[in-house]
Structure 1
Amino acid sequence: MTPGSNLPLQTVRVTVDVAAPVRLDVSGLLLAADGKVRSDADFIFYNQPAGPGVSYRSGGGTAPDSITVDTGSVPPGIERIVVTASPDAAGQTFQGVEPTATVRDAASGAVIATFTPPQLGAETALVVVEVYQRGGVWKVRAVGQGYANGLAGIATDFGVSVDEEPAPAAAAPAPVAPPVPPAPPAPPAYPASPWLGSGASTPAPAPVAPA
């Protein structure tokens, strides 16, 4: 497929996997007529792997992540499901990375279409393909739209509320030790009594013998 091209789907359930030389996080968003999710429950990814008619599966390392769409179970009011991808490593862009989306029949695994978005560079996230309904017919379209602000930028554009990283809590001040009271003054040193000495009784003088 080429950007903007589409194909009608001949099967009810399709799986889209996105492979690349680097590890990618793949997600799916269920969009209503206004191009937005109805709530954050319509954002399907590794932390929320199932939604109405859409599910996420992790490749488990070497295999690519995938999004499966059961068009027969997509609720009324949802007109398209976009499949997105972003590099797993922080700061990684699509420069030199060529992701390829493969659309398969979910039941048989037969390949329906493949798409490699061209001319990627500083993008950190990508809308790869979309599964959409037009005139009662479900189709798949190649998109290849990049975003420079990551998966959070895609999610925000489609109406998902993205929580910002909380600011680190201020460290509690170290407890201040109470001042040490000054030591009481030492008692004054008095000279020893010549009579009492160390406190022992003074012996009586010995009697003098008469001459």
Structure 2
Amino acid sequence: MTAMTPGSNVPLSVPRVAVDVAAPSARLDVSGLLLTGDGKVRSDDDFVFYNQPQGPGVTHRSGGGSGPDTITVDTAAVPAGIEKIVVTASLDGGGPFAGTTPTATVRGADDGSVIATFTPTGLGPETALVVVEVYRRGGAWKVRAVGQGYANGLAGIATDFGVNVDEPAAPAAPAPAASVSAPPPPLAAMPSAPPPTGA
């Protein structure tokens, strides 16, 4: 098992890997985005999360509140045009990661053997993170530790990667007139770590 640092990478020796992301005493929402060479999803179908748990070669499994959410990548089933799958996390119910220590555990999906772990440190106002990425390089697959934070939640990450995050025009049930919400803040990414380096 390898304890990774931001920007480091580890070759994957198995074709199916599972990435568990958990934090002590905090419930996380974990998702995966399938990205092409230009760093974008092909469509909203490439955004895999609790409401859309199946994508081409990628699945989401909820921990049900008692365990970590898991993104599983079957590298043999990932479409040829997809270069990487980024695994993201945000706090269930929102809020910043300050005082929270999320850890990604990368393991063989079939035998459970731990391949690598990564724990981003020094988190503050970030409300969502790109934790790790599983990526294709020269015909082989690797995992890279990222730990980049965003101040505008999962919507900021999704928008950066080309997902349409438009909200429905109106809620199903009418809200009282006095409780009209303020518009959301602008979606601006706030890096919390230097960009990854190396192959």
Same fold (TM over 0.5): yes
Gaps of 5+ in 2: 177-199
Q: Tell which structure's C-alpha radius of gyration is larger.
A: 1
Give TM-score, length-normalised by structure 2.
Answer: 0.83
1:124 is matched with 127
- Structure 1 residue identity aligned to 2:169: P
| Secondary structure at the counterpart of residue 146 of structure 2 | strand
Query: Residue 154 of structure 1 is aligned with which of 145, 157, 164?
Result: 157
Within 1, Cα distance between the matches of 2:106 and 2:37? 24
1:17 is matched with 20
TM-superposed CA distance for 1:170, in Å, is 9.3
CA-based RMSD: 1.4
1:200 is matched with none
| Secondary structure at the counterpart of residue 133 of structure 2 | strand
Within 1, Cα distance between the matches of 2:47 and 2:90? 15
Query: Which one has the bigger strand percentage?
Result: 2
TM-superposed CA distance for 1:164, in Å, is 2.5
| Moved >3 Å (runs of 4+) | 167-171
Q: Note if 1:2 corresponds to 2:5.
A: yes
Within 2, Cα distance between the matches of 1:62 and 1:111? 20
- Structure 1 residue identity aligned to 2:9: N
- Structure 1 residue identity aligned to 2:107: R
TM-superposed CA distance for 1:166, in Å, is 2.8
1:93 is matched with 96
Q: Note if 1:143 corresponds to 2:149.
A: no
Gaps of 5+ in 1: 172-211
Within 2, Cα distance between the matches of 1:97 and 1:77? 35
**How many residue pairs were aligned?**
170
1:111 is matched with 114
Within 1, Cα distance between the matches of 2:21 and 2:168? 28
- Larger relative contact order, structure 1 or 2 (CA cutoff 8 Å, min sep 6): 2
Query: Residue 169 of structure 2 is aligned with which of 166, 170, 185?
Result: 166
1:44 is matched with 48
Over residues 141-184 of structure 1, what are the superposed CA-to-partner deviations in whole Å (9 max), with x where a residue is unaligned? 0000000000000000000000125356799xxxxxxxxxxxxx
